[in-house]
Amino acid sequence: MTISWARLFGADPSLDNLHRFETSWLLSPMALAGVRALTTLYIFTTIFTIWGWYGSHDDSSAIGQSFSYFTWLTYWGLGFYHLTATIHTVLYARTGRSVLLDRWPRVFRVLHVLFYATITTFPFLVTIVFWAILFKAPFYKETFPGWSNISQHGLNSLHALVEIILPATAPHPWMAIPVLVLLLLFYVCVAYITHATSGFYTYSFLDPGVDGHKSGLVTGYCFGILVAILILFLVSWGLIRLRVYLTGDRIKRAARDPLRHGPGDFDNATRLRDASMEMKQASAV
């Protein structure tokens, strides 16, 4: 039952030795780790630089309020995903194994798969909503607001696109769709809790107005965002599928990876793993 559940969420135990999240079709594992590390550094530098700017411009309250915004939560997610992916990739590059994920319960692989699905869909949603709905021309005259908004509402999608193109990841499992929708519903709860406790709406299109006279408009926006995330999921899934097809599902492995030397090693490793799983199941019965 556990194995079937894991497969449903894209964490099939029989595919662990492919190391899809720690490898690339183009870069060596250590080079991929370097790209992810630089992205991590940029994202967290951006976050703390913006916070520093808030603090130095008598706007310290904005630091705490930032945790109520979907943009910020998504940006934090991007940062922590790249940090986590960097650690996993470095360890794999040095040992040829998924050092941490091999030790942890299967649920952590499932969470990693779902985490990847969020950071390759939500950033595009943030970018589209900001520039299509929230942004008001003309563009920022001051350098800092312009840079911070481009970083969080433009480069965020670039980071997501790089994670779609460079790694050897497989297409998202379909079970990621209800998870993405559920996370969006949770965020709507956060937004209205923020209004109830702090007195402001994080996004103007969530404001139902006096006596709820704009509630229909709010409902329309929410359904529009629901449709958008479904489309973005399909686009992300399709791009990953296309990349796998165009690259022939090629994977550049670490020097110590047992499967580095050819498909024969993969077949042998698969047979050994399957035999081990059968023995465990038999002993459990």
Q: What 3 state SS string does 79-130 have?
A: HHHHHHHHHHHHHHHHHCCCHHHHHCCHHHHHHHHHHHHHHCCHHHHHHHHH
Which sign does the torsion angle of CA 12, 18, 24, 29 carry? positive
pLDDT of 273 strictly over 50:
no
pLDDT single digits (tens) 243-264: 999 999 999 999 999 988 765 4
Contacts of 58 (CB under 8 A, 6+ apart): none
pTM: 0.90
**What are the residue ranges of helices labelled H in the chain?**
2-8, 29-56, 61-65, 70-95, 99-103, 106-119, 122-129, 143-153, 155-165, 176-198, 215-246, 263-284
pLDDT single digits (tens) 196-245: 999 999 999 999 998 899 999 999 999 999 999 999 999 999 999 999 99
CB atoms within 10 A of CB 55: 12
Identify how many contiguous H helices and E strands the chain contains and give both numbers: 12, 0
Cβ 206 vs Cβ 39: under 8 Å:
no
pLDDT single digits (tens) 153-201: 999 999 999 999 999 999 999 999 999 999 999 999 999 999 999 999 9
Peptide bond into 138 cis (omega under 30): yes
Q: What is the DSSP letter of 199?
A: S
Cβ 56 vs Cβ 94: under 8 Å:
no
Nearest to 120 by CA among 233, 246, 38, 251: 233
Q: What confidence category does residue 119 fall into, taking pLDDT thresholds of 50, 70 and 90?
A: very high
Cβ 176 vs Cβ 114: under 8 Å:
yes
